[in-house]
Structure 1
């Protein structure tokens, strides 16, 4: 039995879609009605990381588990590991972040992920760490602005990021969950090339067949926008991450996807082409004068 957490997120939902049809799968979700694309045979259970009893029920009979946490600075990883150990789970596959290996990254989010990795290494169970660079799907946050004003407004538009297709991350996770040979390994995942927000905007415009423009905002405006959705310490962590990207810290390309799947990582153009509907203008916006 494999347990998947985070099944309603960018990576988790792709993982459940790719698990073998004959694989026994249990999915833990706070709201099971939000889980989509799971195999017909999957068992979907309600639970919460802060509810030890629900975690214990979810871990019962599980051999391998995929761990996804998002409460920055919280102890959800520790709760999951305790439940896994008590239930006799043998192998944990953890979604982490590529920034963990960057010695220049010392923001709140990276420190939290480093602590989670240390927890996994010391837990006494087999473990695999999956460290993706930023997800290509993060550009979906531009969709409303592109549909309405044909513009992307973001910080440091020329800074490169070797962002990765969530589907490539999911394929590696599935291999770690279903194959032998991944215990004790760290898989750092990137796309095939570094790409900037300006270049992403240009590629989207070409695919959509309409002119788009990029407008760069400053750190002050970026901070104000982020503060509408995030607490202050997370805002500062995200701004520090953007500064590291501007300095080139996120441009390095890894060949891990090719090595583990036998094919190159998907470029941004491929991801964008497969998700154009999200960026398409409403019918009343598609005409011209």
Structure 2
């Protein structure tokens, strides 16, 4: 039995079908559907892990450490945990995301359980936030200048997670998951232009402009500071990382951003 937390999210929605198709018995944990449980309700967590052999652990940002530790506390009987972390966890300059993920990573490594830690970079699916501008024919905001990310397809993250959950080949491994190429926001938008057969543009947004806009949208000052710090890191080249870890696990190159865009936009068009 494999327990999948975050089962309805960006990664989980791809992971669950992979596990089911493999013949695995899957328990889907959610606050709204499937096996209903809450990270902040210890009794519900105990019920969620009852009879479970393996756990896919994905906790929401902000309370990640608290939720990771709560689940690990009731899951000492399981054999293996595969945790979704974040790129650069534990690296100087990434103190906030490290504060979310490092406690869970450290607890897992010292737990006596088998484990795999996955540290993905920027998701290709983050580009979906640009749909309103694309549909309105407006420039897409670019917060990071020419800074690049090794943008990764969430389907590849799910595929790597499935391998780690279903085999013992990746026990006690930490993988940094990226796509095959470094891309800036303008380069991603150029690819979307090609895929959609239209001309899309970007507009550079300064940190001061971004702060005013995000505060006006009702974001908390703490969240705004976090976002601006992330933009600064990317703008200065701090997330220009590409690894071979996806290919090492899957035996094939990771999907490109263009692959993701073609498949996702075709799916969205078919649903509309």
**TM bracket, shorter-chain basis:** over 0.9
Which secondary structure does the structure 1 equivalent of 2:28 belong to?
Answer: strand
* Deviation at residue 153 of structure 1 after TM alignment: 1.1
Cα deviation code 1:183-208 (max 9, x no counterpart): 21101110001000001111101111
Query: Partner residue of 2:32?
Result: 31
Q: How does 1:131-146 map to 2 (within 5 A)?
A: 131-146=119-134
Q: Distance in 2 between matches of 1:150 and 1:267?
A: 25
- The question of 1:122 aligning with 2:110 is answered yes
Gaps in structure 2 of 5+ consecutive residues: none
Which secondary structure does the structure 1 equivalent of 2:88 belong to?
Answer: helix
16 and 229 in structure 1: CA distance in 2 versus 1, 3 angstrom threshold: farther
Query: Partner residue of 2:239?
Result: 250
178 and 100 in structure 1: CA distance in 2 versus 1, 3 angstrom threshold: same
Cα deviation code 1:69-101 (max 9, x no counterpart): 11414511111111112xx11111100001215
Gaps in structure 1 of 5+ consecutive residues: 33-43, 284-289
Which secondary structure does the structure 2 equivalent of 1:82 belong to?
Answer: helix
Query: Partner residue of 1:198?
Result: 186
Query: Partner residue of 2:15?
Result: 15
Which secondary structure does the structure 2 equivalent of 1:239 belong to?
Answer: helix
Cα deviation code 1:259-287 (max 9, x no counterpart): 1111101110110111225787xx9xxxx
Structure 1 vs Structure 2 CA RMSD: 1.8
Q: Retained in 1: the 8 A contact 2:152–2:178?
A: yes
**TM-score where L is the length of structure 1:** 0.87
Which secondary structure does the structure 2 equivalent of 1:130 belong to?
Answer: strand
Query: Partner residue of 2:214?
Result: 226
Cα deviation code 1:220-277 (max 9, x no counterpart): 2222333335432232122111111112121121001111111101110110111225
Q: Retained in 2: the 8 A contact 1:5–1:66?
A: yes
**TM-score where L is the length of structure 2:** 0.92
Q: Retained in 2: the 8 A contact 1:160–1:246?
A: yes
Cα deviation code 1:112-158 (max 9, x no counterpart): 22222122222332211000011000010001111012421131231
Query: Partner residue of 2:39?
Result: 49
Q: Distance in 1 between matches of 2:46 and 2:81?
A: 15
Query: Which one is further off, 91-100 or 142-151?
Result: 142-151
Q: Distance in 1 between matches of 2:230 and 2:268?
A: 26
